[in-house]
Amino acid sequence: MINSPSFKIVPQGNKVLESLQLKHPIVGRLNIATEKYGSLPNRFITELKNVCGKPLCQEIFAFKPESNSIYGHYIQTATEYRRGNFSFGEILRLVSIMLMKENKVSKFDINAKDTAIGFHAKYGFQEIAPRSKRSVDMSLSMEDVIARKDFFDNLFAKHGIDYRI
């Protein structure tokens, strides 16, 4: 089952994910969409929900027009889905890659907990500087995404997403 993402333009002029439906091998149908989050004009939340509307994973992020970038505040998976190869974090990381491409941003910056550095490094994020004993600033450039095009295109195909870098 291959599904195409649809995008919408928000008042600030950025594109966000309007809708993506996937068939997950374990939990069934998933609905993924991005909405405005909080009172700041450039902050958004992408939520991955099951067919009943229960949030299973979310990413809060902000567009940073002054640096032509996106800043990911965090990805959080519901406790009961953190183990067991559900790949919800990976799916949301792919959504953030799509948002990079759709908005022609130069980079995606995050502050990763020490326990999540390996997860983010898998997708090409590179350590920039330690922030504290338990976290590090990391960044993924659009150039690196393009250089790893085959890797990302294979992940889109694996999850049934009709999208290519």
pLDDT computed for residue 40 by the predictor: 87
Using alpha carbons, select from 39, 29, 36, 47 the residue that is nearest to residue 14: 36
Amino acid at the residue 11:
P
Alpha helices in the chain (DSSP H): 88-103, 117-122, 142-147, 149-158
pLDDT per residue, tens digit, the chain (165 aa), is: 569 999 999 988 999 999 999 999 999 999 999 999 999 889 999 999 999 999 999 999 999 999 999 999 999 999 999 888 899 999 999 999 999 999 999 999 999 999 999 999 999 999 998 888 899 999 999 999 999 999 999 999 999 999 999
Q: Token match 């504290």: residue?
A: 132
Q: At what angle do helices 149-158 and 88-103 cross, to 10 degrees?
A: 130
Three-class SS of residue 152?
helix
Topology of domain 6-158 in CATH is Aminopeptidase (3.40.630)
C-alpha pair distances (Å), 147 with each of 4, 71, 91, 102:
23, 21, 20, 17
pLDDT computed for residue 42 by the predictor: 93
pLDDT computed for residue 2 by the predictor: 66
Distance, CA of 91 to CA of 88 (rounded, Å): 5
Q: 140 pairs with which residues across the strands?
A: 108
pLDDT computed for residue 142 by the predictor: 98
